[in-house]
Structure 1
Amino acid sequence: MPVARAARHVAIRFGAVALAGALLAACGSSSSGSSSADGADGGKVTLTVDLFGTFGYKEAGLYAEYQKLHPNVTIKESDTENEADYWKALQTRLAGGGGLADVQGVEVGRIASVTRQQADKFEDLSALGAKDLQAQFSQSKWSAATAPDGRVLGLGTDTGPEALCYRSDLFKAAGLPTDRVELAKQWATWDGYLALGKQYAAKAPAKSHWMDSIASLYSVMVGQQKERYYDASGKLIYDSNPAVKAAWNASVKAAQDGLSAKLAQWAPEWNQAFSSGSFATIACPAWMLGYIKGQAADAGKGKWDVATLPGGAGNWGGSYLSIPKGAKHTKEAFDFIKWITAKEQQAKLFTKQGSFPSNLGAIDLVKDVKDPYFSNAPIGTVFGTAAEQAPVQVPGLRDNDVNTQITNALGEVERKGTSSDEAWSHAQKGVKNALG
């Protein structure tokens, strides 16, 4: 989250093809479901789970499945749509020691802050048995949640390999090709994508634009970089990184060419636009599939499709599940996050919701999955290839805060007509104020 990581104000809300039957059967017979989550006294336990966006666990039926396996456990989820609001509230609770859930979600753009600055506020999962799970996850996903002293502070949920989602019905109306393979060739580069956008703008249906927002374009472009806002030594480099500036310039140019619907991501108007046709393409990390389904609902089925991302593979978002110090049910919380991040559950979540797994075994299970909602797109192949080819990103201490200030400044360009230079200056001032 989703980003929203990128803030993952993310989401997730399926069915698959022939593989689904065998896959879901495997999920149902998961051996990990036999773990005990009894309370210390054998009584009833209400396990609180606090998340942002929509992780998709409820929608995929995973809470219900877990409660059936553990009849003494009731799961109570709380959810904040905007990750920035969620993180601010979590910081307040961590500082005061009250109001914390048994399980807290942590967006990938925040995980460095947890491991380097807040390790003492979260349980060391290795002491609860996480050491036995390390081989199930990619080294990069595991190490990002590991503190310098070796404490493991979160288990990986999804990752955010990127593609491009598009409305094939709107493409057809504008006289553009709709075949995902042909489109991938035409927009192999970002220049090609923007050139095709100009063609769309010339013949687009009324009140329809090429993209949702330039913030979306910017976020997906910087997600293709190994280093974005910090280098490997931890130095802040956003204002000297040519990749950041290139993404900024491309986004500004898209706004100047009138290719954007000028929608603020995660706002109500943006949500409504998924079904109204206000935009034809959107940068699409895997978790965005579920978000689109949730907003466009049944009316969008068969209108959307998925193609390879311009400019090469990248990653936008992904999250972790952690247990804060002060959680009422530490053992039960670990049993739950161990189960829900196991390969069977992650495979089911991708098949139903589009959240691409971080569990290596799950990645293998979903390689042949197609999505009927997205015109039977081979999402297992598209996102699996992107995950393989995406650079291993350097997690920065305050990545999300930097990203928020930059995308806020891009919003000024898009909606107020602020010049590129002035908006960039505002972004720099915003970063300085945010980081202190």
Structure 2
Amino acid sequence: MKLKNIVFYSALALGVAASANAAQSEIRFDGFPDFDSSLKVLLPEFEKESNIKVDYLMNNHGDHHTKLTTNLATGSGAGDVIVVDVEKIGPFVASGGLVNLSEKYGADKYADRFAPYAWTQGKGGDGNMYGIPVDLGPGVMYYRTDIFEKAGIDVNDAIKDWDSYIAAGEKLKKQNVQLIASAADVAQAIIFTTVPEGEGLYFDKDGNPVVTSERFVHAFEVAKEIREKGLDGRILAWSNEWYEGFRNGTFATQQSGAWLLGHLNNWIAPETKGKWAVSNLPDGIYGSWGGSFLSIPTQSENQDEAWKLIEFMTTDRENQLQHFETIAAFPANVTTYDDELFNEGVEFLGGQKARQLFAEVAKNIKPVAPAKGDHVARSIILENALMEVLDEGKDIKTALAEAERLIKRRTRNL
């Protein structure tokens, strides 16, 4: 009898130990706000289904990517799943520190579920996937309906072309309202959305910078005209003055991604609910304004578990919709676009069925492959050359020619 009890309790102990070990599988997710809000909703179901516990580490957007740059360079310190912004996916893939998801997990079988342009952005130069899109930033124009009405502006007339947009700005100026926070946002919109086929944002297919082309000259010219006519507020994005501008109606339009809706509604200017709407970008352009990818660093010791979480968050329709509902991060998974959620009015936007517009924009964005030097070129063009033109009156072609030389020098050894 005693022997039987010993055997029974030993077996029971082994079973408990095995269960404990199974439950102890643990991974870490590294990201930036508001991903933590989404994870709080999604993780309980994932952990229940998979027996994988997920901890997460959130840093602000800039610090998160700075930390990852160091982690990938040193081969240590990164989470098992990392969020990578679209602006960083090119250099991070080129660093060689991310797992080839096509080769290891057959990720390409999911290609049809995602917006083609975003799927392309997650690829490396070898054509394999290194980052799975988790959300998109379809570019739209937010505008104050009450201010437009008071100024007698029809939004459809205002977005016909850039001249019409500037004309609307001149009407707004008479009402003591700025057209936009910063003219630089207009330049960015044109640069990002008018990329010729076969080119990247800043480089051609052979890696040569294209920043002196007509696309950049035109973008700078439109922005300069807005600045010279006193139609922008010279307000930097993500500054306290920017937040106050949304709250107080200092400026009447803002070009951004669909994701801005969540920020406006949740914390920037919730008291302006019902006073905003969205439209297509001016001049008939379609473009991406942000977006995020999920990747696995090669340094991860839990790559299989990490892949299960990525599949859960990106390939599953319901989880993508929940991510969308929680933080207004627009789904990268196109199988969600026929959901009834897209036909619902958005209260913050006065009941407008804005998600239909977001989906239409996402479907019309053309793929633009990222390059490893994009982050360097972006800084030189948008933070240096453009500011010299807008703030100091520097000649556009001179500024772009100098920027091209600087880009060549700084990307020579990438």
| Alignment TM-score, normalising by the size of structure 1 | 0.79
Separation (CA, whole Å) in 2 of partners of 1:357 and 1:309:
20
Provide the residue aligned with 1:99 in structure 2: 77
Structure 1 residue 201 displacement after superposition: 0.8
**Could you report, residue by residue, the CA deviation over 1:238-277 in whole angstroms, capped at 9, with x for unpaired residues?**
22x2112111111111111111111122334323433233
Provide the residue aligned with 2:91 in structure 1: 113
- Contact 1:165-1:306 at 8 Å conserved across structures: yes
Structure 1 residue 218 displacement after superposition: 1.4
1:348 alignment partner, one of 307, 310, 322: 322
Asked if residue 284 in structure 1 is aligned to residue 274 in structure 2, the reply is no
- Counterpart mapping for 1:77-88 below 5 A: 77-82=57-62, 85-88=63-66
1:137 alignment partner, one of 114, 119, 122: 114
Provide the residue aligned with 2:308 in structure 1: 335
- Counterpart mapping for 1:64-79 below 5 A: 64-67=44-47, 69=49, 73-79=53-59
Structure 1 residue 360 displacement after superposition: 2.0
1:324 alignment partner, one of 288, 292, 297: 297
- Contact 2:148-2:155 at 8 Å conserved across structures: no
Task: Quote the sequence identity (%).
Answer: 26
Structure with greater proportional helix content: 2
Amino acid at match of 2:29: V
- Counterpart mapping for 1:172-211 below 5 A: 172=149, 174-177=150-153, 182-204=154-176, 208-211=177-180
Compared with structure 1, are the counterparts of its residues 70 and 269 closer, same or farther at alpha carbon in structure 2 (3 Å cutoff)?
Answer: farther
- Contact 1:252-1:420 at 8 Å conserved across structures: no
Provide the residue aligned with 1:361 in structure 2: 335
- Contact 1:166-1:282 at 8 Å conserved across structures: yes
Amino acid at match of 2:181: D
Asked if residue 223 in structure 1 is aligned to residue 192 in structure 2, the reply is yes
Name which of structure 1's ranges 416-425 and 327-336 shifts more when overlaid on structure 2: 416-425
Name which of structure 1's ranges 184-193 and 55-64 shifts more when overlaid on structure 2: 55-64
Separation (CA, whole Å) in 2 of partners of 1:61 and 1:324:
24
Asked if residue 125 in structure 1 is aligned to residue 101 in structure 2, the reply is yes
Structure 1 residue 378 displacement after superposition: 1.7
Asked if residue 378 in structure 1 is aligned to residue 378 in structure 2, the reply is no
**Could you report, residue by residue, the CA deviation over 1:6-54 in whole angstroms, capped at 9, with x for unpaired residues?**
xxxxxxxxxxxxxxxxxxxxxxxxxxxxxxxx99931335532222464
RMSD between superposed Cα atoms in Å: 2.9
Asked if residue 391 in structure 1 is aligned to residue 363 in structure 2, the reply is no
1:62 alignment partner, one of 31, 35, 42: 42
Instruction: Identify which of structures 1 and 2 has the higher relative contact order when contacts are C-alpha pairs closer than 8 Å and 6+ apart.
Output: 1
How many residues were matched structurally?
385
Provide the residue aligned with 1:50 in structure 2: 30
Compared with structure 1, are the counterparts of its residues 114 and 369 closer, same or farther at alpha carbon in structure 2 (3 Å cutoff)?
Answer: farther
Gaps of 5+ in 2: 1-17
Name which of structure 1's ranges 267-276 and 331-340 shifts more when overlaid on structure 2: 267-276
2:277 alignment partner, one of 285, 305, 314: 305
Compared with structure 1, are the counterparts of its residues 435 and 268 closer, same or farther at alpha carbon in structure 2 (3 Å cutoff)?
Answer: farther
Separation (CA, whole Å) in 2 of partners of 1:376 and 1:193:
24
| Alignment TM-score, normalising by the size of structure 2 | 0.83
- Contact 1:275-1:295 at 8 Å conserved across structures: no
Q: Secondary structure at the match of 2:262?
A: helix
Compared with structure 1, are the counterparts of its residues 72 and 324 closer, same or farther at alpha carbon in structure 2 (3 Å cutoff)?
Answer: closer
Compared with structure 1, are the counterparts of its residues 233 and 216 closer, same or farther at alpha carbon in structure 2 (3 Å cutoff)?
Answer: same
**Could you report, residue by residue, the CA deviation over 1:87-126 in whole angstroms, capped at 9, with x for unpaired residues?**
33322111112211111122223333344x223x112223
Amino acid at match of 2:65: W
Separation (CA, whole Å) in 1 of partners of 2:61 and 2:270:
22
Asked if residue 212 in structure 1 is aligned to residue 181 in structure 2, the reply is yes
Q: Secondary structure at the match of 2:30?
A: strand
Structure 1 residue 60 displacement after superposition: 8.0
Compared with structure 1, are the counterparts of its residues 150 and 352 closer, same or farther at alpha carbon in structure 2 (3 Å cutoff)?
Answer: same
Structure 1 residue 328 displacement after superposition: 3.9
